[in-house]
Amino acid sequence: MAQTITSSQLLRDEPLARYTSWRVGGKADRLFIAENLDDLQVFMRTLDHAEPVFFIGLGSNLLVRDGGVRGTVVVMHQALNELRVDGQFIYAEAGVTCGKLARFSAKEYKQGAEFMAGIPGTVGGALAMNAGCYGSETWNIVHQVLTIDRHGETHVRNESEFIPSYRHIEMLTPDEWFLGAWFKLDAGEADESLKKIKNLLATRLASQPLSLPSAGSTFRNPQGDFAARLIEASGLKGYQIGGAQVSPKHANFIVNVGNCSALDIELLIRHMKDTVLEKQGVVLQQEVRVIGEYA
């Protein structure tokens, strides 16, 4: 008997601004909001082999152009929220927020995932970009991952099947997306780990513009330096194009100060790169992922 999709939603011409942390972006031809793994598997089997597919979580670290996305966008953060102890590992599905993973691990007397509390996204996104902060990276603590391919088949893969680098992960098997991961963490003290998380979040609140829509860090830190320092030294703090502004609080953040378009943000990113190259002699590498078409 053929399987059917039960509770998930398939929307057409859906504006993506509401699904991204910058609150900008055009429409997706199709938007699939997964409610469970079974539905997602059934849906993936219906896709044409040439259909462009994009998976997103909380839409942080992502810029969707004003012309929207041709193809299908799969939203994961409302589904795949399982979080559990699995033997000696912590298992977290792709829709679990990084902050929730950090706190859960601490309460289960595991240490090593505290830094995840500073990542404003989901486990799936953290895996896809090797997200990190405060000197730690996601793939430092990955043991295995669960993926799904275009045919709806799932695969358990070891961390050795991937090549991680700074804010990037190379997948040796193309056209697969992350569904979850088993994290290898050391034994720890819950109180100590929770205190570390609290201090980390206080530092983040004090140093980052969390009251305005942003996508986190715009550029990767060059080796031995900080993108924010280079941008600030180039006189760009507060610089604005349309509704996009280099945050006066943290120069590596672009904030939406109102009526912002994706083009405003993209033009500001380009201006920041050009200015830092001209004044500091450093080529900044973009951390933000850009998808879609121009209006």
Catalytic residue positions? Answer: 167, 217, 287
- Distance of CA 213 to CAs 2, 124, 203, 227, Å? 43, 21, 19, 20
Q: What pairs with residue 72 in β-bridges?
A: 30, 53
Contact 181, 144 (CB under 8 A): yes
Cα–Cα dist 125/136, whole Å: 16
Contact 246, 254 (CB under 8 A): yes
φ, ψ dihedrals at 4, nearest 5°? -130, 155
Cα–Cα dist 211/189, whole Å: 32
Q: How many CB atoms lie within 10 A of CB 257?
A: 16
Cα–Cα dist 16/212, whole Å: 18
Question: Helix or strand or coil: residue 114?
Answer: helix
Cα–Cα dist 75/35, whole Å: 9
Contact 65, 22 (CB under 8 A): no
Q: What pairs with residue 201 in β-bridges?
A: none
| Helix/strand number for the chain, H first, E second | 6, 20
Cα–Cα dist 256/246, whole Å: 9
Torsion angle (degrees, nearest 10) of CA 176, 179, 184, 190:
150
